[in-house]
Amino acid sequence: MRKLPILLVALLLCINGGISVSAEIENPRGSGLSLNYYRDSCPQAEDVIREQVQLLYKRHKNTAFSWLRNIFHDCFVESCDASLLLDSTRRVLSEKENDRSFGMRNFRYIETIKEAIERECPGVVSCADIVVLSARDAIVSLGGPYIPLKTGRRDGRKSRVDVVQHFLPDHNESMNAVLQRFAGIGIDAPGVVALLGAHSVGRTHCAKLVHRLYPEVDPALDPLHVHHMLRKCPDPIPDPKAVQYVRNDRGTPMKLDNNYYKNLLQNRGLLIVDHQLVTDKRTKGIVKKMAKSEKYFFEEFAKAITILSENNPLTGDKGEIREQCNVANKKKVR
């Protein structure tokens, strides 16, 4: 009888030990982050970022699409650490250069935001937090919900290009794989369906669509939409110099709204991953619900963006505050 409690204690110690070890390496729950982390060190930080996002949005509406896509491509690949923003070096190709980043744009305007922040508080605000806060403010510019997000992330020093394809699904990935990858960071099926609602804005280049049109048209596609897609993508092998693309949501291309789900139900989802949301029984009901209720879409979207933004950040003495978002700092001479 006396052995049982000892066994239990030993077991608990094991479990605890395991948790603290993995927390040291990973920090999965976003511990170390807080709301308004820069309250004392740079009280105007969040205002400056919001102002810049709004100014850039006025000049180039598509910057908002980029900030929204950035948070996915940075945070989903192991950690929100701005590794996405690093330029290629002589030894490593950047994440931006990977095929999964196809079509990503406007990175130079991240530097515009960073420069504005550096003028106010040099060396204080991380590029990783700029990625997250610019996404938050872009979502508002696009008509989406305001999502309070924590800050306090630090910037990584190395590209994660070697694992980019392990995390980011391809345009034609199976729904099983997609759901599994998102479950890996704690995002459930409603969260996945909501996040893909980001494809309610922006564009998709013909390179990612021609396999649904040539050599024969994917019969799952709405014939009316096929007509439009063929007009936009007239060549089986798109001319790499001509920028040919289809808007993700023809109805309301500039708005983050639930029109994406209405399109899906009419078989107008552009990518295979989009279309699969209405053929898979785990997600079809959720699509219908989001098509009916924008409120439900926004609630799930806000939850999922929050989880995404807290994925495994670098905090404390890990990482650094980059001086420029596209390059790691030179090694300190101390």
**Shortest Cβ 205–ligand NAG spacing (Å):** 11
The binding site for substrate comprises 169
The number of angstroms, rounded, from the C-alpha of 318 to the middle of its chain's C-alpha atoms is 22
**Shortest Cβ 265–ligand HEM spacing (Å):** 19
Q: Which is nearer to ligand HEM, 27 or 200 (CB)?
A: 200
Pick what 179 binds: ligand HEM, ligand NAG, none; C-beta below 5 to 8 Å, kind-dependent: none
**Shortest Cβ 227–ligand NAG spacing (Å):** 23
Residues 44, 112, 243: CA angle, nearest 5 degrees: 140
The verdict on 201 binding ligand HEM (CB under 6 A) reads yes
Q: Please count the residues of this chain forming the interface with ligand HEM, following the rule CB under 6 A.
A: 25
**Shortest Cβ 170–ligand NAG spacing (Å):** 5
The verdict on 196 binding ligand HEM (CB under 6 A) reads yes
Chosen residue from 51, 97, 120, 170 binding ligand NAG by CB under 6 A:
170
Chosen residue from 60, 105, 157, 288 binding ligand HEM by CB under 6 A:
105
**Shortest Cβ 8–ligand HEM spacing (Å):** 42
Chosen residue from 96, 114, 136, 171 binding ligand HEM by CB under 6 A:
171
The binding site comprises 74, 77, 81, 83, 95, 169, 199, 249, 252, 257
Known catalytic residue at 60 = no
Binding mask of the shown chain, residues 51 to 70, with x at each position contacting ligand HEM by CB under 6 A? -----------x--xx-xx-
The verdict on 275 binding ligand HEM (CB under 6 A) reads no
The binding site for heme b comprises 199
SS3 327: strand
The verdict on 165 binding ligand NAG (CB under 6 A) reads no
Say which of 60, 73, 171, 225 is annotated catalytic.
73
Q: Which is nearer to ligand NAG, 111 or 170 (CB)?
A: 170
C-alpha to C-alpha distance for 52 and 230, rounded to whole angstroms: 38
**31: which 2 tokens?**
């511990």
* Three-class HEC string of the chain: CCHHHHHHHHHHHHHHHHHHHHHHHCCCCCCCCECCCCCCCCCCHHHHHHHHHHHHHHHCCCHHHHHHHHHHHHHCCCCCCCHHHCCCCCCCCCHHHCHHHCCCCCHHHHHHHHHHHHHHCCCCCCHHHHHHHHHHHHHHHCCCCCCCCCECCEECCCCCHHHHHHHCCCCCCCHHHHHHHHHCCCCCHHHHHHHHHHHHCCEEEHHHCHHHCCCCCCCCCCHHHHHHHHHHCCCCCCCCCCCCEEECCCCCCCCCCCHHHHHHHCCCCCCHHHHHHHHCHHHHHHHHHHHHCHHHHHHHHHHHHHHHHCCCCECCCCCECCCECCECCCCCCC
The verdict on 120 binding ligand NAG (CB under 6 A) reads no
The verdict on 195 binding ligand HEM (CB under 6 A) reads yes
Chosen residue from 16, 172, 176, 180 binding ligand NAG by CB under 6 A:
172
The verdict on 109 binding ligand HEM (CB under 6 A) reads no
Chain residues binding ligand NAG by CB under 6 A are 170, 172
Known catalytic residues? 73
